Amino acid sequence: MPHVNIKHFPAPLDDEQTSELVSAITEAVTRAFGCAEGVVSIALEPVEQQAWQDQVYAPEIVERNHLLRKTPNY
């Protein structure tokens, strides 16, 4: 606990960018939940743009909107 799964359009993140992203997310999560860094897991899941509507938007944004803490403006 906790696990963060970031779904995104495929992006050419290099190792340094990925490391910085993971570090920033880990820091924010450990601060918010008061947990150790070692219990945080983070997944980066690329989703093709043409699949976004069916794989992410409908099932996770529309159908689970009660869980959203930030709503997209599209």
Residue pair 52/36 in contact (Cβ under 8 Å)? The answer is no
pLDDT at residue number 33: 98
Task: Dump pLDDT digits (tens) for 22-65.
Answer: 999 999 999 999 999 999 999 999 999 999 999 999 999 999 99
Q: Which amino acid is present at 58?
A: A
Buried b (16+ CB within 10 A) or exposed e, 2-21: eeeeeeeeeeeeeeeeeeee
In the chain, count of helices (H) and strands (E)? Answer: 2, 2
- Just list the catalytic residues: 2
Can you read off the two tokens belonging to residue 37?
């860094």
- Domains in the chain (CATH in brackets) are 3-67 (3.30.429.10)
